[in-house]
Structure 1
Amino acid sequence: MKIKLSLLNDVEDLYEDFLVHLGLSKSQYKKSGMKKGLSIRGKKEIELPCTLLRNGEVNPVYSGPAIEVLSQNDDFLALSKPAGIHGHPQSFAETDTVLNFVRSIGKANDFGGAEGGLLYRLDQETSGVLVLAKREATYNELRDNFHALAKEKIYLAAVRGKFEDLGEKTHFLKSSGEKGSIQKEDETGIEARLSVIKSWYDENSGNSLLQIVLETGVRHQIRAQLSFMGYPIIGDSLYGGLEEDRLFLHALKYAFDWEGKRIVFYDGSPLLFDKFFDLNSCL
């Protein structure tokens, strides 16, 4: 889709004399398919891609899978994020992220930058509870003091084999690959800690369901640490897991200390986990 603009003044260079004032970077301009240095001298009208002119905005159209609103109050909106979608878009052209859904239901924020009030991130492949702040003061307080105020971060992960090594695990992770796409174990890396607090083994499938407390917050942390322990998550081919319909990693519970109370957000219905486990008996 393109938008037609009328030019009231003479413009020599489309990028240097016009679009740069909209806050567009050279890479964003290049990705739009338009050539830098394009002369529009003498023209009274030009047509530009809608995505270029609406840079930094979230499209109000949502085209992804259904998202359930788990709970909300004056400060928080808790959603059940499906596996396979991103939290926020990279451009206005995207319509299948969590923030697209939030804007489509009239709950969009004008603070928090690109993350639009999201208090933490979940990988595209990970499902589960995802919490947004609805007020700027709430967002700033929690983001600035996240490690102190986030009291519980509990995940479910399914792995192949009988897992019995409960307890706290520490690894040092360092981003590797194109654009840091994968974590490697490296003693010079960032310390990553988690605790495996429960394990249920299903003899029929030969898989274990793990309940994990995330103690730090490093990208791909649970995926990488379980892989280094010899138990990659089912569906996580990036870290050596068996191919499956989805990555079997789910954010089960987040809890925050807020205004003198413990606020708990819970998503106990991870899609497809019942393929291997009776969740009613496990949870």
Structure 2
Amino acid sequence: MIKLKAKENDVDRTLFKYLVKILDNVPISRIEKVFREKDIKVNGIRTKDKQYKIKLNDDIEVYGIVSPTKPFLQNEANINFKVIYEDKNLIIIDKPVNIAIHSEPNCLDDQVLKYLNYKKTSSFKPSSIGRLDKKTSGLIIYAKNYAALVEFQEKQKCFDKIYQFVSNFNDEKLDITVRIKKDIENEKMEVDPKFGVKARTIFWVDNNKKFAQIMTGKKHQIRATLSYLKCPILGDTKYGGERAKRMFLHSYSLTFHKLSQDFEEYNEQIFISQPKW
């Protein structure tokens, strides 16, 4: 039998997701079986309710599980990002170019966990909010607790996200909506007026610098749209850009809006990272 006690960073997770996160060495199919057979007690009462919302200090007992957690592995990441802002809820990072967010050696996730000296004490692990391509540099947010993760993920569509880029785009301002879909064969996105999903982007030029504000947040929408406009980003060879020392796309600024009362201190705050090119 495994005994667990819910921590602050577990509160409001469903019981199922809590166990998936905590019992990270146990297959999901085995956790499903635990629910089917009611081999779980919450505060002394057997349950099979996957949607039960965890409360602070809940006592949780799970029967029939062995080797519940993965062995500890030393984090060998090399920290090479710049911190733009940090407090108890968030860390906003200036991501270097050619650093993947997930699933690669020395990815940004591993760097952040090492920077924060993360040790597993609950079902929560510091996590990125939104995404950046490996070849894109600039601002990205990490949540340092579960409440912040939920809040900022839910409100992402209310944030202003502005990117700076280099290409032959020269319109003073262009507000354009295209439909894009995945080109599986070439592992990229492409404009398809019939079958794609809508992706709206506003492009403009200011003092010879070129900016894009994403209004819909679809994968590769800036890259695919500029390629469609015959103005591919310099260095973005996948989308028709000329070869260069890097892909010249940078997450330039973030402005928060419409956050709830618990996080209202962040509303209208602006964070900026100047590109290094």
Please state how far the C-alpha of 1:266 moved relative to its aligned partner.
1.6
Structure 1 position 265 matched with structure 2 position 268: no
Please state how far the C-alpha of 1:24 moved relative to its aligned partner.
8.2
Please state how far the C-alpha of 1:75 moved relative to its aligned partner.
1.3
Contact 2:175 2:202 in 1 (8 A): yes
The runs of at least 4 consecutive aligned structure 1 residues that moved more than 3 Å come to 107-113
1:41 corresponds to: none
Q: Distance in 1 between matches of 2:155 and 2:124?
A: 15
Q: Distance in 2 between matches of 1:21 and 1:122?
A: 29
Contact 2:199 2:218 in 1 (8 A): yes
Name whichever of 185-194 and 102-111 sits farther off: 102-111
Q: Distance in 1 between matches of 2:229 and 2:135?
A: 21
Per-residue CA deviation, residues 194-215 of structure 1 (Å, 9 max, x unaligned), is 11132444xxxxxxx4111111
Per-residue CA deviation, residues 84-126 of structure 1 (Å, 9 max, x unaligned), is 111122xxxx43111111111125486667xx42111000100
1:106 corresponds to: 116
Q: Distance in 1 between matches of 2:141 and 2:212?
A: 19
Give the counterpart of 1:157 among 165, 169, 174.
Answer: 165
Q: Distance in 1 between matches of 2:74 and 2:149?
A: 22
2:82 corresponds to: 68
Paired amino acid for 1:131: I
Per-residue CA deviation, residues 22-59 of structure 1 (Å, 9 max, x unaligned), is 3289xxxxxxxxxxxxxxxxxxxxxxxxxxx959x886
Please state how far the C-alpha of 1:133 moved relative to its aligned partner.
1.1
Using the aligned pairs only, state the percent identity.
25
Q: Distance in 1 between matches of 2:99 and 2:93?
A: 13
Per-residue CA deviation, residues 211-255 of structure 1 (Å, 9 max, x unaligned), is 111111111110010110010000000000000010000000112
* Secondary structure of 2:161's aligned partner: strand
2:37 corresponds to: none
TM-score under structure 1 length normalisation? 0.66
1:251 corresponds to: 251
Q: Distance in 2 between matches of 1:21 and 1:76?
A: 28
Please state how far the C-alpha of 1:21 moved relative to its aligned partner.
6.7
Pairs within 5 Å for 1:1-283: 22-23=26-27, 54=70, 60-63=75-78, 66-89=80-103, 94-106=104-116, 108=118, 116-148=126-158, 150=159, 152-159=160-167, 161=168, 163-164=170-171, 166-178=173-185, 181-187=187-193, 188-201=195-208, 209-257=209-257, 258=259, 259-260=263-264, 261-268=267-274, 270-271=275-276, 273=277
Does the C-alpha gap of structure 1 residues 266 and 163 become closer, same or farther in structure 2, counting only changes over 3 Å? same
* Secondary structure of 1:140's aligned partner: helix
Paired amino acid for 1:177: I
Does the C-alpha gap of structure 1 residues 111 and 240 become closer, same or farther in structure 2, counting only changes over 3 Å? farther
1:29 corresponds to: none
Does the C-alpha gap of structure 1 residues 70 and 111 become closer, same or farther in structure 2, counting only changes over 3 Å? farther
Q: Which runs of 5+ in 2 are unaligned?
A: 1-23, 30-68
Does the C-alpha gap of structure 1 residues 59 and 214 become closer, same or farther in structure 2, counting only changes over 3 Å? farther
Please state how far the C-alpha of 1:165 moved relative to its aligned partner.
5.0
Please give the root-mean-square deviation of Cα atoms over the aligned residues, in Å: 2.7
Does the C-alpha gap of structure 1 residues 226 and 155 become closer, same or farther in structure 2, counting only changes over 3 Å? same
Q: Distance in 2 between matches of 1:256 and 1:82?
A: 22
TM-score under structure 2 length normalisation? 0.67
Paired amino acid for 2:82: E
Q: Distance in 2 between matches of 1:226 and 1:24?
A: 41
Contact 2:174 2:202 in 1 (8 A): yes
* Secondary structure of 1:156's aligned partner: strand
Contact 2:253 2:272 in 1 (8 A): yes
* Secondary structure of 1:262's aligned partner: coil
